[in-house]
Chain A
Amino acid sequence: DGGITQSPKYLFRKEGQNVTLSCEQNLNHDAMYWYRQDPGQGLRLIYYSQIVNDFQKGDIAEGYSVSREKKESFPLTVTSAQKNPTAFYLCASSMVFPGDSNTEAFFGQGTRLTVV
Chain B
Amino acid sequence: AQSVTQLGSHVSVSEGALVLLRCNYSSSVPPYLFWYVQYPNQGLQLLLKYTSAATLVKGINGFEAEFKKSETSFHLTKPSAHMSDAAEYFCAVSDPPGGSYIPTFGRGTSLIVHP
A8 to chain B, nearest CB (A): 13
B101 touches A110 (CB 8 A): no
Contact pattern, A 29-45, Cβ under 8 Å of B = 1, otherwise 0: 00101010000111101
B43 touches A103 (CB 8 A): no
**How many residues on B have C-beta within 8 angstroms of the other chain's C-beta atoms?**
26
A48 to B102 CA separation, bound complex (whole angstroms) = 8
What is the number of contacts between chain A and chain B, taking CB atoms within 8 Å?
63
Task: From known contacts A41-B107, A42-B108, A109-B43, infer whether A33 and B102 are also in contact, taking CB-CB under 8 Å.
Answer: yes
B97 touches A108 (CB 8 A): no
User: Among the listed stretches A60-68, A78-86, A89-97, which one makes contact with chain B, having 4 or more residues with CB under 8 Å of it?
Assistant: A89-97
User: Among the listed stretches B48-56, B65-73, B77-85, which one makes contact with chain A, having 4 or more residues with CB under 8 Å of it?
Assistant: B48-56
Q: In residues 27-70 of chain B, which contact A (Cβ within 8 Å)?
A: 32, 34, 36, 41-46, 49, 51-53
Residue numbers in B under 8 Å from A101 (CB-CB):
51
A55 contacts the other chain (Cβ, under 8 Å)? Answer: no
A41 to B97 CA separation, bound complex (whole angstroms) = 28
B94 contacts the other chain (Cβ, under 8 Å)? Answer: yes
A31 to B101 CA separation, bound complex (whole angstroms) = 9
Task: From known contacts A97-B97, A103-B51, infer whether A42 and B106 are also in contact, taking CB-CB under 8 Å.
Answer: yes
A47 to chain B, nearest CB (A): 11
Task: From known contacts A42-B106, A48-B102, A94-B101, infer whether A100 and B42 are also in contact, taking CB-CB under 8 Å.
Answer: no
A100 touches B107 (CB 8 A): no
Nearest chain-A residue to B51 (Cβ)? A100
A106 to B44 CA separation, bound complex (whole angstroms) = 8
A42 touches B107 (CB 8 A): yes
A110 touches B42 (CB 8 A): yes
Residue numbers in B under 8 Å from A31 (CB-CB):
101-102
Nearest 5 Cβ contacts at the A-B interface: A107-B43, A42-B107, A43-B105, A100-B51, A107-B44
A-B contact pairs, 18 of them (CB 8 A): A31-B102, A42-B90, A42-B106, A42-B107, A43-B90, A45-B102, A45-B104, A92-B44, A101-B51, A103-B34, A104-B46, A104-B49, A105-B103, A106-B46, A107-B44, A108-B43, A109-B42, A110-B42
